[in-house]
Structure 1
Amino acid sequence: MTDDQNFSSSLSAEHHGRSELRMERRLAHPPQRVWDAITQPAQLAEWFPSEVSVDLRPGGEIGFHFPGDPGPGMTGRVTDAEEPRLFAFTWGEDHLRWEIAPDGDGSRLILVHTFGDRFGAASFASGWQICVIALGQLLAGGPVDVERDTRGRLHEAYLARFDELTRGRVEETDDGGRRVRFERQLVRPAGAVWDRLTGGEEPLAGSPVPEGFTADKVPVGPVTEVRAPELLAYAWHPDGEVRWELRTGTGHGPRLVLTQSGPRDFDADAALVVWRERVADLAARLLQE
């Protein structure tokens, strides 16, 4: 992926269930030129991830439609339109704020994306980086031809940058126990992930657990529930379960949700370490495929 050295990015701490991704890039074009490229539908169509129609005033409707999608698309509302410095709008439950500041003979473009799906942050960041590279190509007058992150390498680079997303957390359960939980966006289709985890076996309830679903020093009991390619669970303790789920993700592949639940006195700190290593190993192997 090219041009990533020109970007700065940060991810805020979660606040009331919302996170804020901030991305910044210098562009060698004046603010008015950048403003036109981020507000005019004909120019947006060249670099933005969807077709856009917009009533360019606060409160005006903005519509998004992906080419080839037979559905009606999504709508939002313009929250700010201050030419040539600020354009902001809602997109579903998300909010996008584009700020343009003079910077010498060019501009500094700042995107602030506020959203609820914290574990989608690396997907959002990698997607916006590709879009803004395309925007730069449009502004330069050349063809818009950006390498897509089809292998997921840019996504994984952002996930490494937003390292806190890979650490997992400990939760209290309703029955007074504890649960270790990891959530991670993966970069291969669910079927490929399932094949990697199962080793080509077809696990059944009551059968031994395929090695891909295990971790060092975590006891392994029989499979208790399986639904390929979405779910496998097994007992590791009379009062505990390990559960692997592949849910709908954000563009690249499925969202892995991995939990180990157990009694209050189980060593959750040790579980955090071994499962973080296991998930990191899975992600690295998928990136190589």
Structure 2
Amino acid sequence: MNEIAEIDAYGVVTEPATIQIRRRLPGPIDRVWGYLTDSDLRRQWLASGDMPLAADAAFTLTWRNDELTDPPGDKPEGFGTEHSMDSTILEIDAPHRLTFAWPPRGEVTFELREKAGEVLLTLTHRRISDRTNMLMIGAGWHMHLDILVARIAGTQPEPFWDGWKRLKADYDQRLGADL
């Protein structure tokens, strides 16, 4: 079985407080790496912010989810137009692995593997505080990664907020009440 071909779009809980999501992207790996590390490319699917590519380097991510798609969709109450998070790179092995802190306790790892002209991106978010955050984070990463796939493939993604709300409800059903 081709591991890159056989992936589920939804994240899975791989251990307590950890969600993992995988995506297949067209290569080369250096282009995908650029979308993870270059602020101008990253802001097209996730968040802007200069990221020094060194372990222990501090950086700030700034989300402007209303700017990710046109139209942005129907934003739920409680979300502003901009959100920033200070972080630190914990591990970097270009162009294969990037781990950074997700304050106050979590961490996010991106792993890239190239095979036959495609790139398998595996995102792992560890130490998610509770079920409510697991639903928000699972839906958020899922939607952001869908936008990344669309950007790299040159297609139009679903409006961000509409997709996020739909996915949050999906994750609520898929993850069950035991989290």
Same fold (TM over 0.5): yes
For 2:94 and 2:159, the matched residues in 1 are separated by: 31
- How large is the RMSD of aligned CA atoms in angstroms? 2.2
5+ residue gaps, structure 1, are 169-289
Alpha carbons 1:6, 1:26 under 8 Å: kept: no
Q: CA deviation at 1:167?
A: 4.6
Structure showing greater relative contact order (alpha-carbon pairs closer than 8 Å, 6 or more residues apart): 2
- Deviation per CA, 1:24-61, whole angstroms, max 9, x where unpaired? 1111222111101111001001000x322211111111
The secondary structure found in structure 2 opposite 1:101 is: strand
Tell me what 2:125 maps to: 113
The 1:78/1:153 distance shift into structure 2, 3 A limit, reads same
Counterpart-to-counterpart distance in 1, 2:174 and 2:155: 31
Instruction: Figure out how many residues of one structure are paired with residues of the other and give that number.
Output: 154
Distance 1:35 1:155, change over 3 A: same
**Aligned-pair distance for 1:77?**
0.6
Q: Which letter maps to 2:13?
A: L
Aligned residue number for residue 53 of structure 1 = 50
Deviation, structure 1 residue 149: 4.4
Match of 2:19 among 15, 18, 21: 21
TM-score normalised by the chain length of structure 2: 0.76
TM-score (norm 1): 0.49
- Per-residue deviation at 1:157? 1.2
Deviation of the 1:66 alpha carbon: 3.4
Identity of aligned residues (%): 18
CA contact (8 A) 1:89 1:96 kept: yes
**Separation (CA, whole Å) in 2 of partners of 1:43 and 1:80:** 21
Structure 2 residues not aligned, in runs of 5+: 1-6, 65-80
SS of 2:101 mapped into structure 1? strand
Give the greater-gyration-radius structure (CA).
Answer: 1
CA distance 1:131–1:116, shift in 2 (3 Å): closer
- The corresponding residue for 2:147 is 134
